[in-house]
């Protein structure tokens, strides 16, 4: 039998310290599955505190899977506005439609079936299986990875790779309270085994933590880098209005409002005005202010004084802020 030291200690800590989160409400199983489904999409690359108000509003407006599958795209993006990574919202709806069509309207409880849905990778599938269905899976997010790295003192480049961490996570054990345990690990990493200034004085597994024994809590950074991309962004302005177009050209920010842009491939010289990091891209942007000498549909002209009423991606808002400062 595997050592249950970590499992028991972390669960005991969780029972005393868990946060009250809206997707953890004690509700009927089908509603709990839906709450988990929506929250896990929202929590991809986004912190808990940011997600909470969006989740509450989303659930109020779209309370079940059937309504999600048929929701108007404009309403969906409006509810998501400010969370960023809008592909998540589109994939969430597509996944709901697939569940209605292929799984009789019930969120599947098998790893392969979940992975077949748009927007769901290994981590999200593991999280849904553990949290919504109480199955013995451990989702490996940044918080859980950090626990493993410190507990086992993993420092070398090959040791901190995802493949190795997946192999090592069995040290964390399993519990018949799989739903609670998955959340407990993520909670513990977020609140105690933090990236900066870990709270070792409150750590229940400190006795066996190799990083504590060595008094070395620094984490080795993964050498993965953002890929440099270069763009010319065109600004047309008239009567306090900016020209924005519906993006059908780039895979990122698909179908959302952006400034007209062109990508340059490995330019020899490039004097950037703005740098924005998005997903795995390091976007170097040169801004050209152009005269309004083209004819565009009037609907594309957005009043800069009323930007908050439009459904704009965070990327576009950042560009507007730059333009207002310069």
**Residue positions annotated with a catalytic role:** 40
Residue 295 token pair: 């004819």
* Nearest by Cα to 119 from 143, 99, 101: 99
* Nearest by Cα to 289 from 233, 232, 235, 231: 235
* Nearest by Cα to 149 from 162, 160, 163: 160
How big is the CA angle at 203 (ends 174 and 223), to the nearest 5 degrees?
A: 75
Query: Mapping DSSP to helix (H, G, I), strand (E, B) and coil, where does residue 232 land?
Result: strand
> Burial level of 98, CB count in 10 A (0-12/13-18/19+)?
middle
* Nearest by Cα to 38 from 23, 26, 50, 53: 23
Residue for token digits 């080795």?
A: 220
Q: How far is CA 94 from the centre of its chain?
A: 17
Strand residues in the chain grouped as ranges (E): 227-238, 241-243, 245-246, 257-258, 261-264, 274-278, 281-290, 301-303
Q: How far is CA 49 from the centre of its chain?
A: 12
* Nearest by Cα to 214 from 158, 141, 149, 165: 149
């Amino acid at each position: 039998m595997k050592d249950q030291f970590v499992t028991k200690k972390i669960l005991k800590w969780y029972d005393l310290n868990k946060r009250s989160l809206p997707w953890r409400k004690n509700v009927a199983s089908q509603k709990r599955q839906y709450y988990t489904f929506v929250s896990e999409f929202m929590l991809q690359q986004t912190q808990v505190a940011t997600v909470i108000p969006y989740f509450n509003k989303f659930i109020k407006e779209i309370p079940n899977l059937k309504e999600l599958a048929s929701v108007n795209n404009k309403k969906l993006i409006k509810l998501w506005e400010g969370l960023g990574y809008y592909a998540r919202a589109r994939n969430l709806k597509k996944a709901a439609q697939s569940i209605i069509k292929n799984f009789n309207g019930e969120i599947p409880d098998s790893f392969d079936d979940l992975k077949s849905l748009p927007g769901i990778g290994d981590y999200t599938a593991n999280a849904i299986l553990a949290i919504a269905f109480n199955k013995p899976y451990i989702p490996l997010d940044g918080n859980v990875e950090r626990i493993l790295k410190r507990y086992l003192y993993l420092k070398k480049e090959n040791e901190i790779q995802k493949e190795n961490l997946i192999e090592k996570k069995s040290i964390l054990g399993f519990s018949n309270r799989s739903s609670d345990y998955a959340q407990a690990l993520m909670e513990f990493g977020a609140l105690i085994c933090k990236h900066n200034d870990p709270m070792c004085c409150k750590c229940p597994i400190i006795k066996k933590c190799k990083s504590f024994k060595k008094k070395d809590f620094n984490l080795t950074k993964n050498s993965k880098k953002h890929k440099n991309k270069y763009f010319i962004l065109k600004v047309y302005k008239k009567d306090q209005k900016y020209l924005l177009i519906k993006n059908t050209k780039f895979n990122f920010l698909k179908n959302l409002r952006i400034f007209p842009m062109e990508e340059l491939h490995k330019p020899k010289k490039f004097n950037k005005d703005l740098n924005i990091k998005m997903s795995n891209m390091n976007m170097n942007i040169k801004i050209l202010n152009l005269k309004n000498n083209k004819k565009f549909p009037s609907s594309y002209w957005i009043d800069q004084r009323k930007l908050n009423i439009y459904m704009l991606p965070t990327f576009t808002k950042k560009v507007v802020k730059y333009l207002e400062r310069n």
